[in-house]
Structures are given as structure tokens and as C-alpha cells.
Amino acid sequence: MSTERRSHPTPAERVKAGKSARKAAPVEQNAQFQPAADRADPVAILEDQARTRVPELIPVRHGRMLVSPFTFFRGAAAGMAADLAATPDSGLTVQLCGDAHLSNFGMFASPERSLVFDVNDFDETHPGPWEWDVKRLAASLEIAGRDNDFGPKKRRRAVMAAARGYQQAMAEFAGMNQLDVWYARADIGELQDALKAGLTKARQKTFDKALAKARGRTSARAFGRLTGLVDGERRILPDPPLIMPVRDLVPDVERAELEEWFRELLAGYRRTLQSDRGCLLDAFEFVDMARKVVGVGSVGTRCWIVLMRGRGPDDPLFLQIKEAQQSVVAEYGGRPTAEPLGEGERVVQGQRLMQAVSDIFLGWQTVEGIDGQTRDFYVRQLADWKGSVVIEGLSPTELPAYGRLCGWTLARAHARTGDRIAIAAYLGEDEAFPEAVADFAALYADQNERDYAAMQDARRSGRISAESGL
């Protein structure tokens, strides 16, 4: 049996590669954004995505996107990927989040039951240029600042803080040993004082409440909130169209048939877990499942929540089974993967590569659905200390601090899979990179506003339908 011989350049050679990339694609080029004359219609991109989604949920997706330019941006990852594919890059590849906007960072529980901060959405993860994630994060800061009525200087300060945070963190990781990079993580307990620095006492109390709220998000809480007695049995309650129990979606299908379908899915999914976690899963039995609408960009993909029971009715586990479709990064020109993967496996492998710690029940499965169509899914816990910052509530002093934390977090994720030494050498230590990224963010926020207006026009003309308030 033969093994592939991998090349291991010296640190000096990796620095040289980064500096060569900087000469070939100067840092200042990151400021560039000029829409192509034949740029795709942003509404047409959304219409194309709708073809593979649940038809009755498309108006919900459109309604959520139309709340503000920021929510539009959240749902427009495909449009931005198409735009980024036309921009210059350094040629240095990492495992991308693919959708690294502000709202896709947040808190969740580690397997050791500490609260950590990390990237938390990987539907679009795929190998690609590291610049794509940084620019999506930067643009989201600029757009969030506009939504919050911050002036140009305050918005630019926030964007530059994130870019500078990424730059400084990558330099830090470039000087670290491989295992130290792999074990690095943002533990909220260790960061708590730093995160609260500069906040008013009232905001500090709000921060503490947010942490307490995150720790309260568990399967037991979801059990009390999402279930009730139906014919004497504890079942998931309907809240149409956002939550639809499977018994209401397919009333003519026998419960025994549904349970058989779920057992088939579970058996395949279990094989993707570590053996000890598979043993833990075996201790739970199926109770009920429902379709649940989640997020903004994900609305319309098939997402199920599954109620399982352990030692008794007061020992619940909620799993989320979410459809995985092709990554927009792959669709619009990301780097090829080392080997072909199913879409669910792609999401899980990307998450495991980028996150410092991941959900113990994270796995995947390809299965034929109730409608007879074969689809890829990934599985995780529905609620496990998950929490996020309310972007709309951040002040002009808080947005840069949060952006800096997101920049550090993104750099750590990229440092795990890319050449951190080469990327750090490319970035340099001066202000050229943060300045360029801030210029790009302002230009792209302008484009986002034009695209948002185009979607508003499409709704007014009847080209698309949208449901508000859901």
C-alpha cells in the first residue's frame, strides 16, 4: 500500500510565497469592485434558487429578505459569490465559510460545556480564496452600520477594525506551532471581561443577560416551547407555515411508514458519528418530527426538527435535519475539493475543519425523502446554548469591537486549513489591507442597496411574491 508524499515547505519558503502573491496581486487590489456590464440580475439569481426549494416557502424567504438592506444581504450569498468571482485574489486557498456575514457568528456550547464564540453557519462552506470570506464580513459591517444610521467614518472604523483584527490574528497564528493553532478558540468565559470593556453598565447587564439566555437554549427549553399534548401524547405543535408537523404535511402516510423512513435516515446518519456519540444516540427513541423554517437565506430548503426521548418524557433531544444544496462558492468559481463529497458531508467536513469545537451530534446522510426525491442532509442539535448578537442593537463603539472579534475568529478558522504563514506575509503589517477592504465594503454596500431596490421593484410589479412578518 502506498501513501501520498506531501510537500512541507519551510516557513521561509511560505513567507516567500506570500510575498510573491502580494507582488502578483497587490493588496490594494482588494479595494476594487466594478459591476460587470453583463452582471446577473440579482432577482433572477433568487428565482433560480427557488426552483429547488419548497414552493410555498419562497414568499417567506422573500419577505424576510425585504425587511432591510441587511436582511437582503444575508439572503444574497449567491449574488455576492458571483461578484467576488470577478475580483482579483492572491491565489491562496482556505476552507471558506462561504457566507461569513456578521449574523453567522455566535455562541454555542462546546462538548466540555463551556460557551465558545465561532462561525456557526456552513451551508456554503467550500475551498476558495480567503479574501471572499473577509470581504463578505466587511461588507456586512458596512451594511449593518448603514442600517443602524451610523455615519461614514463610524462605519469605516468598524470595517477596518474587522480587517485589522483578521490581519493581526493571522500574523499571530503564523508564529504559532501547528497544534497550538488547532487548539485555539474563543472561550466566552476568558473573553468576558474584554468583551464588556467600554460598555455602559446598562449594556454590561444586557451582555450578561445574553450569555444567560444562550446557556438556557437547550433541548429541554425547546421541548417546553415547541411541544404539547396531542391525543394524550407529547408532540410538536403546529405554527404554520413556520412549523408544520409531518402528520399535517402528509396526513395520508401511516405513522409506521414515517417511522420507518426516519429509522433509515437515522441508521445512515449514525454511521457518520464517532462511535461513542453513536452509542449516546442509540439511547434515544423517535417521538415526532416537523418541518421548520429557519434563517433568511436558508428559507425554502427542507429543514426538519426531530423530537427524541431518552429515559422518559422529561429527557428530550431535539435534532435538526437540514437539506444541503450545492455551495454558492462552488457554483461561482471556488477551488476544487480534494475528492467529491455529497453536499451534507461537505457541510459537516467544512464545519469540522473550521470550528474549534463542533456539535457532538453533527453528521450527515443522503436519503430518499417522503416525496420520493433523494436529497443530501446534515444533522445537528436544534438548541445547545446557541446565542447571537443583535446587530441592530450595537452602538458605534460596539460594532468595531464585535467586528474585531469576528475578524480574529475568521482568521483562526482560515489558519487551520490554509497557509497561515503565506497569508500573513501577503497581508503585511501596515494599513494597506484594512484600508482596501474598507473601500471595497463601501462600494459593495452601494451595490447591495441597488440590488435591494431591484427586489423591492420586483415585489411591487408582481414578479415575485413576499409574505411579511414571518
Domain ranges of the chain: 13-25+40-214+390-461, 219-381
d(CA 345, CA 366): 9
Q: What angle do CA 207, 213, 218 make, to 5 degrees?
A: 150
Assess contact for 401 and 141: CB atoms under 8 A. Answer: no
DSSP state of 7: P
Assess contact for 344 and 324: CB atoms under 8 A. Answer: yes
Assess contact for 327 and 346: CB atoms under 8 A. Answer: yes
Estimate the crossing angle of helix 343-354 against helix 398-417, to 10 degrees: 110
- What is the predicted pLDDT for the residue at 434? 98
- What is the predicted pLDDT for the residue at 4? 57
d(CA 230, CA 242): 19
Would strands 303-309 and 227-230 be described as parallel, antiparallel, or unpaired? Answer: unpaired
129 residue type, one letter: P
Estimate the crossing angle of helix 188-196 against helix 398-417, to 10 degrees: 150
Per-residue pLDDT of the chain (470 residues; tens, 9 = 90+): 345 567 789 999 999 999 999 999 999 999 999 998 899 999 999 999 999 999 999 999 999 999 999 999 999 999 999 999 999 999 999 999 999 999 999 887 777 777 888 899 999 999 999 999 999 999 999 999 999 999 999 999 999 999 999 999 999 999 999 999 998 887 766 566 656 665 666 666 666 676 666 666 667 777 888 899 888 889 999 999 999 998 888 877 776 777 777 778 888 999 999 999 999 999 999 999 899 999 999 999 999 999 999 998 889 999 999 999 999 999 987 777 777 789 999 999 999 999 988 899 999 999 887 678 899 999 999 876 677 778 887 889 889 988 999 999 999 999 999 999 999 999 999 999 999 999 999 999 999 999 999 999 999 999 999 999 99
Q: Which three cell numbers stand for residue 77?
A: 450569498
Assess contact for 333 and 85: CB atoms under 8 A. Answer: yes
283 residue type, one letter: A
- What is the predicted pLDDT for the residue at 189? 64
pTM of the predicted protein model: 0.93
N residues, the chain: 470
Q: How far is CA 237 from CA 39, 225, 271, 294, 315, in A?
A: 44, 9, 30, 16, 18
- What is the predicted pLDDT for the residue at 200? 63
Phi, psi values for residue 173, rounded to 5°? -70, -30
